[in-house]
Structure formats: C-alpha cells, structure tokens
Structure 1
Amino acid sequence: MKTLGYYNGKYGELEEMSIPMNDRVCWFGDGVYDAGPSRNYKIFAIDEHIDRFFNSAGLLDIEMPVTKEELKELLQEMVNKMDTGNLFVYYQVTRGTGVRDHAYTKGPGNLWIMLKPAEISDGIEPIKLITVEDTRFLHCNIKTLNLIPSCVATEKAKKAGCQEAVFYRAGGRVTECAHSNVHIIKDGKLVTAPTDNLILPGIARAHLIRMCKKLGVPVSETPYTLKELFEAEEVLVTSSSNLCLHACEIDGKPVGGKNPELLEKIRSALLGEFYEATPEE
C-alpha cells in the first residue's frame, strides 16, 4: 500500500478513512500523539517513542486502549504492509467518543495510526530559520494535538522562505522550534534547553545528547537566550523526522559556520547510528 490508516481496528488508504464526528478530537483536540521514522521496514527508536506516547497520555488521564507491546506489534504489522519501508509512522490517541461535553468521556481512548512514505534528511544542506514569540500554553512537555501556534509559526516560516521557526519566551529565552528541538554549539560544547514544561523532551534530542557524550563533547542542559542563539558557533535543529539539521540564517542574518568540524562529527555520528539501526536486508 502507498499510504495506510487505522482507526479502532479499521484499516484503509488514508483517503478512504473516516472518523466519527463525536470523537473528542473534533470538539477539543483532546488527545496526544507521537511519531518517528521507519527505514527498510524497521521503526527507529520505537520503544522510546512508545514510552513517551504513553507518558503523554498518562499526564492527561487518557486511558490507553492497547498495551505498549500490542501497539508496537500493530505498528510493525502495518509497516510491513507498505510498498516502501521508508516511512513516517504517526500514531495518536484521543480521549474517546461522546456528545460534546467539557467533562472527560469515560472509557478507553480511540487509537489512530497513519503511515506515509518519507525519507530522513542527511542534514548536509543548511536550513534557514525565523524567530517567533512563544505564546503557547505551559504544558509543552506533553505531546498534545493542540498545535495551532505551531501551525501558525510554521506558515510564517514558509512565507519567509525558511524551513523552521524558533520560539522564544518573554526575556528572550529560547525554548524550541515549531516542530523540532533547537540547540547551539557554544565554546565547543552542546547547549540545549532543559526538559521542563516549556519544551517537548524530543527523542532525537535525547539521541543528540547521548551521542555528544559518547564523542566527548560537553553537554549543558541549561536555558539560553536569543543573543546566544545568534552568536553561537553552530545552530542545530533536531526532530524524529530530521535527526540533525543545522542553520545558516535566522531572521535573515547569517549564523553558525564557526565550528564545522564538530558539526560534521556530530551529524555523521547520528546518521550512522540511524543507518546502523535500520539496515537493508
């Protein structure tokens, strides 16, 4: 199959799928999601993603309709049905189905899955960024479906000819991007925002931190500012869809390019880890 969808036991091509109007996602965006890449029919870092998915659901008191192992088996089963093994594997759970009511709908949630062809960028070509004030709520550590601010920021970036938007809070603290984590290289060390309630604890972020430590690159999980972002030796952008990108421009001003050897060392190591975990059979 070229694309594949799933909703509470029903399968089909994405354009064939339909969702009940009373699913709480329609009224409130009431749910959480997770996603990651598959290569050669192997889902990368699947256990880490599923753990985060269940944690997000638990923080919102959403009852999961499957166990972690059942979800893992279902995702792999669906990946195996696809025409290509290089995919974006997305899954979400909504609180349930019921007539619109702000009070929680009781019972297990509704499970959605979406698969579509996708490739991971090798991260060689630099990207351009813009900055946008972070006006989101204070639960950014939960991967909820309420993504309007991120959609608006992404559209602003697109209209500016850029690939991503960097959020900052009052006072100039950099948090994350619209759909990625953002980090800097400063004085030869990796500086990345701490995993408090203002950022999502990215899986690719975790892999970046572990890889830097493995390579002997010091890591500082501390807040940093817009000023430090613009003055950084390198600016890195990571997500499960693009494991290690780097920026050459922010708000039309050149950035980075001051430590290309270290950047390449980190980029190639992360891509190598991904390729090693998803070999062709």
Structure 2
Amino acid sequence: MLLWNGKLVNEEDVRVSYHDRGYYFGDGIYEVFRIYQGHLFEKEAHLDRLYNSLAEIKIRIPWSREELSDQLDQLRDTFGEQDGMLYLQFTRGEAKRAHAFPASSTAVMLGYCEPLARPVDAIENGIATITCEDVRWLRCNIKSLNLLPNTLAKQEAAEAGATEAILIRTDNTVTEGSSSNLLIVKNGTIYTHPDGPLILSGITKKVIERIASELQIPYVQRSFTREELMAADEAMITSTTMEAAPVITIDGQPVGTGTPGPVTRRLQEAYLQQVHALLAGASPAS
C-alpha cells in the first residue's frame, strides 16, 4: 500500500502528472523515517524537520500534524512488524511550467514503506570514504528533492570502492557526507559541524548528541578542517539508514588505528539500547 494524498491506495492507483512541479523543478521536500520491527523511530523529531522544510520553501499542506501522524501510523501498520524505512514526499503540485510559484496549487503527497535491514557489516567493521568538494547550494538545512550534487558525490564514492563521500567546502571546511552527517573524535571529544544552512540537521546525529550527554562524553559543535579530519582518532557517519557507522579510511588513509574506536563503540551500544526501549514500548530516554 501507498499513502497518496492522505489516503491508502494500491500502487496502480497512483498517477503523477507531468505538470507536477516536483518533476519540473524538484519543487518539493521529503523525509525518511526508520522502522524497527514495525515501530517508527524518532517519529516526532522527523515530523519537526518535515514541517520546517515545508515552511522553508512555503509549501502548505491540507493536513494537520495530528492527521498526518495518524496517516503515517496507518501506512506503517500495512507494513507489518519488520525493519524498514518509510519515505514521505511532498511537492508543490500541478501547474504550468513557470519558475514563480503558481497563484494556487494543491500539494501532492506520496508515502511508502519498504524493507531495509540494519547495516550490521558497516556498523561492526566500519566503512571506507573519500573526500569531495562540497558544491551544493547554501540551504542544505532544507531536505529538498534537489539532490543532484549529492548523487554525483555518492557515485564518485561508489566508483572509488567507498561507501560515502565526505564533503569539503572551498574554504577547507568539512561539512557532512553526501547522505549522512559526520562526527570525528579527538582526545575523547566529539566534534561535528554545527546545525545551519551548510548541513542537514540530522535526526540520528541529535540522538548521538543526546547519548553523548548521558554518557558524559564531551560533544562540541564547531566546524573543522580537512587536516583536522585526517588527524582524527575516530570518525563516524550518522543517518536514519546507516545509524552510527565507523569511518575507518578516508581517501585510502586509515582513521586512527584503522578500526572502529572506543567512543564510537560506546555510542553504538547506547543507540541500540534506545532502539530496544522503543521495541519494549517505552519512549527512548531524553
């Protein structure tokens, strides 16, 4: 089943117009929710980010937050008790092709679930990464449909035999991954680029920040350089689909010992406890 404009329908009942502005201009936003055994993880935080993105590009939707939340629950219920992801997308809707917003349009919603196993190998053994120039626009805090620079960076990583591309601005500021946030550890302290227009405010990164506070691990939000990245004791990427995956090489060079580090391991263990709390019917600790 798919969620189409507020209703559960079969896939064959979905028709997207070629006049949809999402097709013409990428004029829309999306959100990805993690599902663990049929439970939506950090649902309210994802809804917060969704509504922020909608407001940033001035898309109005005809459903209240409570109505939308209920619709997501209904969609999730059709998925059953398995691990997966819920993808939700809104475009500005149908209009004749013109850059300026139409005088009136109706937002188009599409949502679906699909199976997605936990990335156990990446979590346990770590991943290889490369660095790429960050050529994206200056509104990366909006989770928009315009992802061509991200996909090109991800493809460059894939062709190099790596999992992720770490993006670096022309002023030598390290921002994040092509589809993830980035954190490094130096002398027991976690460093990550602060939220703002240069990165997407990551839900999983916020979970890691909360966990670090609980474990009394120093957590500093400040920008850092490529040289600081390469000199890190540990590094990890975080995302809804990758959880907290250790980075063990960057551009072929080992990070620290070239194996997942102790701070990363403590964070991973605590993250899994949050998931277990969700499955047990309790709210994750805050």
Answer whether TM exceeds 0.5 for this pair: yes
Alignment coverage as a number of residue pairs: 278
* Residues 5 and 110, structure 2, Cα contact 8 Å, conserved in 1: yes
**C-alpha distance in structure 2 between counterparts of 1:94 and 1:212, whole Å:** 36
Q: Which residue of 2 aligns with 1:173?
A: 173
Match of 2:64 among 63, 67, 73: 67
**Displacement of 1:193:** 0.2
Q: Which residue of 2 aligns with 1:206?
A: 206
**C-alpha distance in structure 1 between counterparts of 2:81 and 2:16, whole Å:** 26
**C-alpha distance in structure 2 between counterparts of 1:13 and 1:159, whole Å:** 36
TM-score in terms of structure 2 length: 0.92
* Residues 248 and 255, structure 2, Cα contact 8 Å, conserved in 1: yes
Q: Which residue of 2 aligns with 1:147?
A: 147
Q: Which residue of 1 aligns with 2:244?
A: 244
**C-alpha distance in structure 2 between counterparts of 1:100 and 1:25, whole Å:** 11
Q: Which residue of 1 aligns with 2:189?
A: 189
Cα pair distance change 1:257/1:277, threshold 3 Å: farther
Cα pair distance change 1:142/1:115, threshold 3 Å: same
Is it true that 1:119 corresponds to 2:117 in the alignment?
Answer: yes
Q: Which residue of 2 aligns with 1:102?
A: 99
Q: Which residue of 2 aligns with 1:219?
A: 219
Which one-letter code corresponds to 1:260 in the other structure? Answer: G
**Displacement of 1:35:** 0.8
**Displacement of 1:72:** 1.1
Residue-by-residue CA offset, 1:47-76 (whole Å, 9 max, x unaligned):
100111011100111102211111111111
* Residues 126 and 247, structure 2, Cα contact 8 Å, conserved in 1: yes
Cα pair distance change 1:227/1:14, threshold 3 Å: farther
More divergent stretch after superposition (168-177 vs 13-22): 13-22
Secondary structure at 1:182's aligned position in 2? strand
- Give the alignment of 1:29-68 within 5 angstroms: 29-68=26-65
**Aligned CA-pair RMSD:** 1.9
**C-alpha distance in structure 1 between counterparts of 2:232 and 2:276, whole Å:** 29
**C-alpha distance in structure 2 between counterparts of 1:52 and 1:148, whole Å:** 21
More divergent stretch after superposition (94-103 vs 204-213): 94-103
Q: Which residue of 2 aligns with 1:231?
A: 231
* Residues 247 and 256, structure 1, Cα contact 8 Å, conserved in 2: no
Cα pair distance change 1:239/1:14, threshold 3 Å: farther
Secondary structure at 1:277's aligned position in 2? helix
**Displacement of 1:22:** 1.1
Q: Which residue of 1 aligns with 2:266?
A: 265
* Residues 75 and 112, structure 2, Cα contact 8 Å, conserved in 1: no
Q: Which residue of 2 aligns with 1:278?
A: 279
Which one-letter code corresponds to 1:68 in the other structure? Answer: R
Residue-by-residue CA offset, 1:220-266 (whole Å, 9 max, x unaligned):
10001111111101001000112110111111111133882222111
Structure 1, unmatched stretches of 5+, are: none
More divergent stretch after superposition (245-254 vs 259-268): 259-268
Secondary structure at 1:69's aligned position in 2? helix
**Displacement of 1:83:** 4.7
